[in-house]
Chain A
Amino acid sequence: MTLPRVLNYLKYGIKVALMIEVLFCLGFPSIGYSQLKLKTVTLALSTEPPNLDAGRATDSESFFVLGHSMEGLTRYGKDGNTAPGVAERWTLTEQGVVFYLRADARWSDGQPVVAKDFVFSWRRALDPATASEYSFILYPIKNAELINQGKLPLEQLGAVAKDDRTLEVTFEKPCGYFLGLTAFATYFPIREDLVQRTKDRYASNPESMLFNGPFKLTTWVHGSSLRMERNPFYWNKKNVDVDVIDVPYITPDETARFNLFKTQKIDILGLNKENLSNAQREHFKLRKFTDGTVFYFSFNFREGHLTANKNLRKAIRSVFNANQYVSRIVGIPGTIPGTGLIPAWLNGVNGPFRKEFPLIAVKNDIAMGKQYLAAAMKELKLKSPPSLVWLTTDSPTATKEAEYMQNLLKTTLGIQLKVDKQIFKQRLAKMRAGDFDIVSAGWGPDYADPMTFVDLFTSWNGNNTGQWFNKDYDQHIRNALGTVDTQTRMGEMAKAEKIILEELPIIPTYERTIIYTHSDKIKGLVRRAVGSDPDLTNVKIAD
């Protein structure tokens, strides 16, 4: 082959390439062609929803899509309280709850949503073969846990469709927060015929899904875009103002999302610490909400770990100043410095839990800390202040936090911190294995009840990574789990929280606040800690 021939091939190659480009260009209609008439909210997601199978979804992106396209027996109302969903009313007792389904609840193919769609969905999520990671959230239903362990057949589940519009649920033990759970994705209905038809590919694209919520997913290009449109069969469609929820961008890059908002390509934007000052310079109207997550330092109580010593923990608690920590490390205005385990956004009996059961303020006192340390050293027979292992992730904030704590404990107590920095999954592996003295961790709520936090430190909870066990604590939680009486439940959980602050298995650091902004045309956007966030169901679009 001669050189001119090679060049000839190259020319052909270029021609073909250009043709492909042209074809590509013709094949795709430009984004946003129908925004002229329809009321559209446009967003960017950081990652695409990994799993839109309601029975198996675990992450906030999937919950966002599912929360708009599906509806449970109850739903989260505007104020965050439970509102009627597919069920128009119910009767709740110690033994269980009977749901009465509304006649006009429909799937996106026009068929009615019936009681057995819920029974099927719940059994499926509990089926060991499904291996749903959120199956535990169904455990308040009678026999659910045993079914999930494969010890009982699916038919033994305490949820029975009496007829198409009556669903009878029996509790394993009284569950005072059950009506909050039925708004959660794992409790959404699923149509059996659809799962049988689509098998392994159920919910992998819009064609293999059916929707009973305010919107239906119409397009989903993996990794690239998705679009939800008004569901004409939704029973409450007259109260939904938004026609289209368009997600033409999926990128984890915060700056890219910032630029998209700046060029008015998207309507809602979350702001991290770096972009906050840019947003202020652009005069964006900043808003905030708490996403519900509580952060804390968790101590290791396994044998051979000095942190099992109460005086040592008290010493660290005494020198730790949550206000200073928040302003220096978190740096997001509006962040609530950590005081207790149960965050400020949760409700108690009639109002905020924190107001009904106030905490005793902890004094930041270095002299006191030194006394506790001296007592600890005596008990542990140490000659000098100990050296402890601090397990953390490799994010910039985590690094800053580790350096801050290293410096704080060194200068006040003379305690040396050895920082063990790991990538996310390896930190988890080490945390589970108990390979640390102190680990910086957080917990996001699964449902809007203090139980989602206090349950964490019971002896039977696998997420109790420090393995702190306390009989009194367990008892208070058992008492709270044994009744639907709100007053008793909240009282017991408040007592449990007091034990945490006395025994210090953790030091609460902060309750996360998210700063965000949205375009002026959006009115009534709801942000929430539990369930679909942001919630566009009640949004009104100004023209």
Chain B
Amino acid sequence: MFSYAMKRILIGLMTVYAIATITFFAMHAVPGDPLMRAKVVNEVVRQNLETKYGLNQPLFVQYVTFLTNMLKGDFGISFTQQNRSVNDIIREHFPVSALLGLVAIITAALGGIVGGAVAAIRRNQWPDRTIMSLVILFVSVPSFVFAAFAQVGLAEIKKKFGVEILPVAGWGTLAHLILPGLILGLGTMAFLARLMRSSMLEVVHQDYIRTAKAKGVAPIKIFIRHQLRNAVLPVITFLGPAVAAITTGGFVAEIVFAIPGLGRYFVQAVQQLDYTVIMGLTVFYGTYLVIVVIIVDIIYGFIDPRIRIAGA
């Protein structure tokens, strides 16, 4: 088990290194640079800025400096916010994205599991049809459409009836979390519901369910004890990557609902070619995703010995 875990971690480290290297050179290959502004900066000022950020060095030297600093956990200062370090940005804004992601994943998991299970139990009846129609809707329509609709809807209700169900945008209270969290989780919820439904359908026809029924176990007990518990396994294995994807992918919700999350900074950094922020956030997100995947891999190993044997 130990060697299996070590191997996974080693591969993870190499992945992060590869991500960092590829991003670094790809980013520098893009025309333009972070110091390019709408108005031409005087030559001396530009040289000073280049010296400050080390852009006057050959690219390979910059790469080595970047790697050395990265190992020390220092990603430097942002080009667009010259008095903030990339570490400050991650420290202040990742918790926001993580919290939003957490709410989203909880909603998605609960909604998906319950929805999927109900659809399977009532297969081809109206609950199944309703849930599956919604699933198709949530999978195929991107979340920003729902975000925009929900916001307009709230504004209309506020205007017509003078009632504020939920705030239109902003951050700081529990109420501000609900709508963006729900919308961010919709896609995942739909996917999980589908997964849960098919897994549940498999379980429903197993022999041990028939045995339980024959023994006269109460249907609700069968549902919770035997069906739900067994069917939920694939959903849980999918949750790991989903957590990573949701906590890093809240960009649209963050923009629409004026939430100070990290996703926004990432996208802005790419638009502005803010080298230090791009690298810092890429490595951070990369490491985060790799860690989640490793944890999932290791947990798999615990749950299913076959994976461990095949891996080792």
Residues of A within 8 A of B (CB): 1, 3-4, 6-7, 10, 14, 17-18, 20-21, 24-25, 28-31, 44, 47, 50-51, 53, 56, 58, 128-133, 135-136, 148-150, 200-204, 221-225, 248-253, 255-256, 259-260, 262-263, 265, 423-426, 428-430, 432, 462-463
Contacts and interface: CB of A to CB of B under 8 A. Distances in A.
Contacts of B16: none
- Most chain B beta-carbon neighbours within 10 Å: one of A24, A31, A53, A225: A24
Interface stretch (B34-42, B62-70, B135-143, B202-210): B34-42
Interface centre among A1, A17, A249, A463 (most CB of B within 10 A): A249
A428 B38 contact: yes
B40 A204 contact: no
Contacts of B38: 428
Interface string B222-254: 000000011011001000000000000000000
B158 A58 contact: no
Contact of A426 (B31, B42, B265): B31
Given A222-B260, A259-B154, A265 B168 contact: yes
A24 B99 contact: yes
A149 B44 CA distance: 5
25 contacts: A14-B106, A18-B106, A28-B172, A29-B172, A30-B173, A31-B170, A50-B80, A50-B81, A51-B81, A53-B83, A128-B45, A133-B45, A148-B42, A200-B77, A204-B88, A222-B260, A224-B172, A224-B258, A224-B259, A248-B170, A250-B260, A251-B255, A425-B32, A428-B38, A462-B42
Contact of A203 (B44, B83, B261): B83
B258 to A, nearest CB: 4
A262 B44 contact: no
A249 B99 contact: no
B260 A255 contact: no
A328 B193 CA distance: 48
Interface of B: 30-33, 36-45, 48-49, 52, 77, 80-84, 88-89, 92-93, 96, 99, 102-103, 106, 148, 151-152, 154-155, 158-159, 164, 167-174, 177, 229-230, 232-233, 236, 255-261, 264-265, 268, 271-273, 302-303
A200 B52 CA distance: 12
B196 to A, nearest CB: 14
Contact of A423 (B92, B265, B271): B271
Contact of A430 (B31, B33, B44, B151): B31
Given A131-B49, A256-B257, A462-B40, A28 B30 contact: no
A128 B48 contact: yes
A136 B40 CA distance: 11
A135 B45 contact: yes
Contact of B32 (A223, A426, A462): A426
B83 A204 contact: yes
B169 A222 contact: no
A6 B300 CA distance: 11
Contacts of B31: 425-426, 429-430
Contact of A255 (B148, B171, B236): B148
Contact of A253 (B84, B256, B271): B256
Contacts of B89: 222
Nearest to B259: A224
B272 A20 contact: no
Given A222-B92, A251-B169, A259-B151, A51 B174 contact: no
Contacts, number: 178
Contacts of B261: 223
With a 10 A CB-CB cut-off, give which of B80, B82, B236 has the most chain A CB atoms.
B82
Contacts of A221: 260
A256 B31 CA distance: 32
Contacts of B92: 222-223
A136 B42 contact: yes
A20 B264 contact: no
A31 B172 contact: yes
Contacts of A429: 31-33, 36
Nearest to A442: B38
**Could you say which of B37, B44, B174 has the most chain A C-beta atoms within 10 Å of its C-beta?**
B44
B84 A204 contact: yes
A31 B82 CA distance: 29
Contact of A428 (B30, B36, B42, B48): B36
Contacts of B265: 223
A458 B166 CA distance: 56
B169 A260 contact: yes
A251 B151 contact: no
Contacts of B96: 224
Contacts of B258: 44, 224, 249-251, 253, 256, 260
Contacts of A428: 32, 36-38
B260 A426 contact: no
Given A131-B45, A223-B264, A259 B169 contact: yes
A262 B151 CA distance: 11
Nearest to A24: B99
B48 A129 contact: yes
Contact of A224 (B36, B43, B171, B255): B171
Contacts of B273: 425
B303 A6 contact: yes
A212 B12 CA distance: 52
B236 A10 contact: yes
Contact of B93 (A58, A203, A223, A426): A223
A225 B173 CA distance: 13
Contacts of B42: 135-136, 148, 462
A52 to B, nearest CB: 8
The 3 closest A-B pairs by CB, nearest first: A223-B260, A224-B260, A251-B258
Nearest to B37: A133
A463 B41 CA distance: 9
B260 to A, nearest CB: 3
A423 B88 CA distance: 28
A53 B82 contact: yes
Given A21-B177, A256-B258, A56 B172 contact: no
Contacts of A224: 96, 171-172, 258-260
Contacts of B40: 432, 462-463
